[in-house]
Amino acid sequence: MEQEKVKVLIIGSGPAGYTAAIYASRAGLNPVLITGGEPGGQLTTTNDVENYPGYPGGVNGPQMMIDFQNQAKRFGTDVRYGMVTAVDFSGYPHKAIVDDKYEIIADAVIISTGASAKYLGLDSEKEYYNKGVSACAVCDGFFYKGKPVALVGGGDTAAEEATYLANLCPKVYMIVRRDELRASKIMQNRVLNSPNIEVLWDTETEEILGDGDSVTGVRVVNRKTGEKKELAIDGFFVAIGHKPNTDIFKEYLDMDETGYLKVIPGTSKTKVEGVFVTGDAADKVYRQAVTAAGTGCMGALDAERFLQSKELETA
């Protein structure tokens, strides 16, 4: 297999990967960035981004990621479309296989593989994605201010997003599969004490309804009685969790029970020297473009300092 040696390898794109690339390039580290299967990450499936500083008129998600990529390229980042299919962090320097075709040997690796929102798997959900269906209330809730919405989920994230939406929307239907919430007691209390949140217990989503251009309603079914009803809504939010794209690192890095990679608090460092994690691959709390970009900066600075210390060791 063909081999290539680089100083810094960035696995994944999106705000974290591209920001790491900008900083690493400006530091003269000549990074190679492998975009991953979804170049630009979750933002490439987002039409309007209005909460990222520097875009006063808002920006289209894919265009924003093109801007990030062009800025990284401007300073010399080698952006390559492809997928890292395996890694070997058992020795130093580190190794990564790209598209099962060639091997990159890197002195430092910055992981920016992100996370993917979980969806219900309905055809109507796919049809109306970005036309009223969203997996991020904080990102998209503003667009439904003054309009009725529905949210599916029963955990802490769902409860948090439901209460967030309740501050914007006159009516929030919370669709819960069980007869109780999995959320913490304090979050349950917030939901149950919000007068404009109606919890639909033992209920599943059967179909998201629309006019072809946008969501107009949702049909739900009670799991115990079989009763079906249609709710008139303008927005449908899915809050059933995210899956971090971290499977290839399981053998080498610490992660929590859901797959989020663990870092030394206050840094982007992992337990393996020279391997750093940025963005949603490690962040299950905030999951915003601006926080991902911030950790991308941290990853590049941590990598730069690590490489400087290595040079001093061998000097």
CA–CA dist 154, 175 (Å, integer): 8
Residue 251 pLDDT more than 80?
yes
Same domain, 101 and 247: yes
Q: List active site positions.
A: 136, 139-140
Domain total of the chain: 2
Lookup: tokens for 8: 């810094």
Same domain, 229 and 291: no
Q: Give the three-class secondary structure for 94.
A: strand
Same domain, 10 and 107: yes
Among the candidates 213, 238, 263, a domain finishes at 238
Same domain, 100 and 9: yes
Same domain, 89 and 133: no
Lookup: tokens for 279: 């963005």
Helix (H) or strand (E) holding 301, with range, is: helix 289-314
Q: Which domain holds residue 164?
A: 119-238
CA–CA dist 268, 85 (Å, integer): 22
The whole-angstrom distance between residue 267's C-alpha and the CA centroid of its chain comes to 19
Same domain, 33 and 131: no
Residue 314 pLDDT more than 80?
no
Beta bridge partners of 80: 34
Same domain, 111 and 247: yes
CA angle 130/136/141 to nearest 5° reads 80
In this structure, are residues 93 and 107 in contact, taking their beta carbons and an 8 Å threshold? yes
CA-wise closest residue to 122 among 193, 29, 218:
218
Residue 273 pLDDT more than 80?
yes
Q: Write the single-letter amino acid at 93.
A: P
SS (H, E, C) 225-237: CCCEEEEECCEEE
- Read off the pLDDT of residues 135-159 as tens digits, 9 standing for 90 and up: 989 889 999 999 999 999 999 889 9
Among the residue ranges 19-23, 50-54, 205-209, 228-232, the one predicted with the least confidence is 50-54
- Read off the pLDDT of residues 179-210 as tens digits, 9 standing for 90 and up: 999 999 999 999 999 999 999 999 999 999 99
Q: Give the three-class secondary structure for 130.
A: coil
Question: Phi, psi (5° rounding) for residue 99?
Answer: 55, 30
Among the candidates 238, 263, 285, a domain finishes at 238
Same domain, 65 and 109: yes
Among the candidates 194, 212, 238, a domain finishes at 238
CA-wise closest residue to 208 among 274, 164, 149, 266:
149
Same domain, 247 and 107: yes
Same domain, 50 and 15: yes
- Mean pLDDT, the chain, rounded, equals 94
Same domain, 69 and 123: no
Residue 267 pLDDT more than 80?
yes
Domain containing residue 30: CATH number: 3.50.50.60
- 39 band by pLDDT with thresholds 50, 70 and 90: confident
What sign results for the dihedral spanned by CA atoms 51, 54, 55, 56? positive
- Read off the pLDDT of residues 95-138 as tens digits, 9 standing for 90 and up: 999 999 999 999 999 999 999 889 999 999 999 998 999 998 98
Q: Write the single-letter amino acid at 6.
A: V
Task: Compute the half-sphere exposure of residue 214: CA atoms within 13 Å on the CB side of its CA.
Answer: 9
Q: Is 190 exposed, middle or buried (0-12, 13-18, 19+ CB in 10 A)?
A: middle
Same domain, 123 and 233: yes
Which DSSP state fits 129?
A: B
